[in-house]
């Protein structure tokens, strides 16, 4: 079994910062692409940021310059540093990781259960 556990969410005022962490555990041979998604009430889940195994990154335009995604492969963990937060950033944030559980096996996407980020005005 593979589990992704997010942490670091919470309530913050507009302009504040939060750092989200997502640690993968269980049977893991290799973690490939990792990313953060968010879903606000009544809206579709959207990709916020992603990072490849080669450390190339991408961001949605709404967070570019404010958020930074990073990873620590020794800990099977992906981070999202969120600065200059806005009320529009309020959502449940989910991490996703593409994981190969065993050598020679296929790569499967796994999701965390989400962490609430609330930005007050």
Over residues 28-69, the pLDDT tens digits come to 999 999 999 999 999 999 999 999 999 999 999 999 999 999
Give the mean pLDDT of 79-106: 97
Give the mean pLDDT of 67-93: 98
Residue 3: burial class (beta carbons within 10 Å; 0-12, 13-18, 19+): exposed
Give the mean pLDDT of 91-114: 97
Distance of CA 67 to the CA centre of its chain: 11
Residue closest to 25 by CA, chosen among 116, 105, 97, 106: 97
**Residue 67: its pLDDT value, please?**
98
**Residue 10: its pLDDT value, please?**
98
**Residue 100: its pLDDT value, please?**
97
The pLDDT tens digits for 6-24 are 999 999 999 999 999 999 9
Angle at 43 between CA 38 and CA 49, to 5 degrees: 25
Q: How sure is the predictor about 82, in pLDDT bands with cuts at 50, 70 and 90?
A: very high
**Residue 36: its pLDDT value, please?**
98
Answer yes or no: are the C-beta atoms of 20 and 114 closer than 8 Å. no
**Residue 121: its pLDDT value, please?**
92
């Amino acid at each position: 079994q593979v589990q992704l556990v997010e942490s670091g969410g919470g309530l913050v005022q507009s302009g504040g910062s939060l750092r989200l962490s997502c640690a993968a555990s269980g049977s893991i041979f290799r973690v490939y692409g990792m990313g953060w998604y968010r879903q606000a009430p009544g809206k579709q889940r959207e990709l916020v940021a992603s990072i490849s195994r080669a450390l190339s990154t991408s961001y949605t335009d709404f967070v570019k310059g404010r958020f930074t995604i990073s990873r620590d492969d020794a800990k099977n963990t992906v981070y999202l540093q969120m600065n200059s937060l806005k009320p529009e950033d309020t959502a449940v944030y989910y991490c996703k990781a593409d994981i190969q559980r065993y050598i020679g096996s296929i790569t499967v996407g796994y999701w965390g259960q989400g962490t609430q980020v609330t930005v007050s005005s």
